A and B are shown apart, each in its own frame.
Chain A
Amino acid sequence: MAVQKLTIAKALNDSLRKALETDPKVLIMGEDVGKLGGVFRITDGLQKDFGEERVIDTPLAESGIVGTAIGLALRGYRPVVEIQFDGFVFPAYDQIVTQLAKMHARSLGKIKMPVVIRIPYAGGIGAVEHHSESPETLFAHVPGLKVVSPSNASDAYWMLQQAILSDDPVIFFEPKRRYWDKGEVDVEAIPDALHGSRVAREGTDITLAAYGPMVKVCLEAAAAAAEEGKSVEVVDLRSMSPIDFDGLQASVERTRRLVVVHEAPVFLGVGSEIAARITERCFYHLEAPVLRVGGFHAPYPPARLEDEYLPGLDRVLDAVDRSLAY
């Protein structure tokens, strides 16, 4: 059966399995990805079926994981690396930014870096410090990297396939609080392009742009707004580098208003770039300034405060109201 109802976690697991089956050069690497199947079980059962040479438990050393993945890619392999949690990627940040991102350019195109770095990211699961962060801007800012985040099971399945097939390094942010959300996955479909946005809900009065875990919040906000007679369009950006400005522009030209929503701090975030570019592109279409809803310029708070920190339905609807008030 081509269409299955899967959780995002299972869709990712199936996607990895498919990649391992399809290409013998694909490797899975990371801490606890083998017997345990990863702390979120995304690699569950893969080592059992593909062996320790394909699904590699690594020492607890993030720079080492990414640095050796670079070496394996130089040898012709396609490593898919798991960083256990968002806040743990920073020991590997040097290897990602100074080496992985630049290898293709500084070799004048002679070297390709087909490395995927999977990062369970963002908050909402009541975790301790360093387990709930949204560092996507720090990667999207780096030339040479592609940065994406699926919001649903179908995208989880297909975007991971596409990321693994890409000859460029891809930072693959998995919205960990959505791992258990179910959705339909057509494993025989022709998927959307990895870098393209998707209109998740059509509307005429205002556009909400989001990605990853915030898409669901925006869809709920749109449903709530509809009860008040407001027609809200939701665009799932899917990719933060590149950003599909053409798709977003088309939506904003229809609705004439835009609110960008993400969990990461608003200051210098993905929303800032979108606000600037959409203002350039749509200046004469806009009825209101582009507004942003997101995290504060503060460390991610203790879990008991995260419901206040994370953009929820009310903060999104408040921004919708502010935009519509212009």
Chain B
Amino acid sequence: MTVESTAARKPRRSSGTKRAAGAAGARKTAAATAQPHDAEPQLVQLLTPEGERVEVADNPDIAEFAPFVADITTDDLRDLYRDMVLTRRFDGEATALQRQGELGLWASLLGQEAAQIGSGRALRDDDYVFPTYREHGVAWCRGVDPTNLLGMFRGVNHGGWDPKINNFHLYTIVIGSQTLHATGYAMGVAKDGADSAVIAYFGDGASSQGDVAEAFTFSAVYNSPVVFFCQNNQWAISEPTERQMRVPLYQRAQGFGFPGVRVDGNDVLACLAVTRWALERARRGEGPTLVEAFTYRMGAHTTSDDPTKYRRDEETAAWEAKDPILRLKAHLLATGGADEAFFEQLEVESETLGKRVREVVRAMPDPDTMAIFENVYADGHALVDEERAQFAAYLASFEGGE
């Protein structure tokens, strides 16, 4: 299957609309805020905001993706729901802990649970994940203890987990850098002849970074088994997507020679289906895919900013109606997939998780002072050795000195 034929067959993919191409005339930059992506986006959706399943008969465009969740049982749906609820509870607890001074900073995923759980649950154990610093839901799916995510935000380490245990790389703060690491890793997977895949998470703001474009270039020319999973949450701190792009993001993939798909990022089932589809392409040796999960960051970028200064309440309210957790709950209730006892039990479980997170964070010890000098180099370094010895002697000079 060639990329060109794939792109031509499916309207949801980057098919190079004439409207988008060349839309930006040299003298039209002032009109940059009224671009096609402002329009209601076309996206792959399997579960409506009201919680109703979308049937292929009603929307043939989802025919390619729907089979990827044909095996999902009611039990599975309840598990996805549980994942989203617990992730949101954890995230809320972390936000509260930041307000209480226990964390220096927190980057909330509120609103992005479906994108993260849907894509995260699509992965196999031997797949490898390269996250940003907001992928708490994906970390949950990888089996990383959520309390381990808090060390860097509390300021006791820069990571806190061994990436190789869960195939979940450390959070990357410099925007977009990890897309290249994912691409290189995927090049290695292909060299090894393995049939696993790699997924790189990034945001709409990161799509402006050169590194992301270079990752697209490298993965395309080496046909690397990598899925680029962009959570377009509409805002890069205070900059709206209009400041990042003039054509819908998923369409960018076509220029690099691989398919791009826009999925309803608040629909956990659609995110699961599309990510599975993209991972399968990677495993079959068909190269990279760009998935744009169209979603919304309900909270602040981090606890340091104030979204009321840069975005409208009406916008946020409109997205509240598309809440990923509420829609799956509506579906479970409407179909008899879960009863009140299930939701009550989950509430208990959530509180237990919140309590554990609180306790672990508060008990987190500061690192040993001499840790400053540890792991700067694998093979050692004379300057580090010298400074370590000098600082140790300096600290020792206080002992018994009074």
Contacts and interface: CB of A to CB of B under 8 A. Distances in A.
B106 to A, nearest CB: 19
A279 interface: no
B188 A71 contact: yes
Interface string A68-87: 11111111110000000000
A64 B214 contact: yes
A243 B382 CA distance: 8
Given A74-B188, A106-B157, 15 more contacts: A58-B218, A63-B211, A66-B180, A67-B184, A68-B184, A95-B177, A95-B211, A107-B162, A108-B157, A108-B159, A109-B375, A167-B379, A168-B379, A168-B381, A242-B382
Interface in B358-386: 374-379, 381-384, 386
B18 interface: no
Interface of B: 157-160, 162-164, 169-170, 172, 174, 177, 179-189, 191-192, 210-211, 214-215, 217-218, 221, 374-379, 381-384, 386
Contact of A64 (B189, B218, B383): B218
A73 B181 CA distance: 9
A146 B382 contact: no
A53 B191 contact: yes
B221 A67 contact: no
A285 interface: no
B217 A98 contact: no
Given A68-B184, A72-B187, A107-B159, A99 B218 contact: no
A75 B214 contact: no
Contacts of A98: 174, 177
A98 B187 CA distance: 22
Nearest to B194: A75
Sort chain A's interface into a size bin. 35 or more
Interface of A: 53, 58-59, 61, 63-64, 66-77, 91, 94-95, 98-99, 102, 104-113, 143-144, 146, 166-168, 195, 241-246
Given A110-B162, A242-B383, A74 B184 contact: yes
Contact of A67 (B157, B181, B377, B378): B181
Nearest to B378: A167
Contacts, number: 143
A243 B180 contact: no
Nearest to B192: A75
Given A107-B170, A110-B164, A195-B382, A68 B218 contact: yes
Contacts of A69: 184
A73 B187 CA distance: 11
B114 to A, nearest CB: 28
A75 B177 contact: no
Contacts of A95: 177, 180, 211
B184 A111 contact: no
Nearest to A103: B170
A102 B186 CA distance: 21
6 contacts: A64-B211, A71-B180, A72-B188, A74-B163, A108-B159, A110-B164
A28 B218 CA distance: 16
Contacts of B210: 63, 91
B182 A104 contact: no
Given A72-B184, A244-B382, A146 B377 contact: yes
Contacts of B218: 58-59, 61, 64, 68
A248 to B, nearest CB: 12
Contacts of A167: 378-379
Contacts of A143: 376, 384
Given A67-B177, A98-B174, A107-B163, A61 B217 contact: yes
Contacts of B177: 67, 94-95, 98-99
Nearest to A59: B217
Given A64-B217, A105-B376, A71 B185 contact: yes
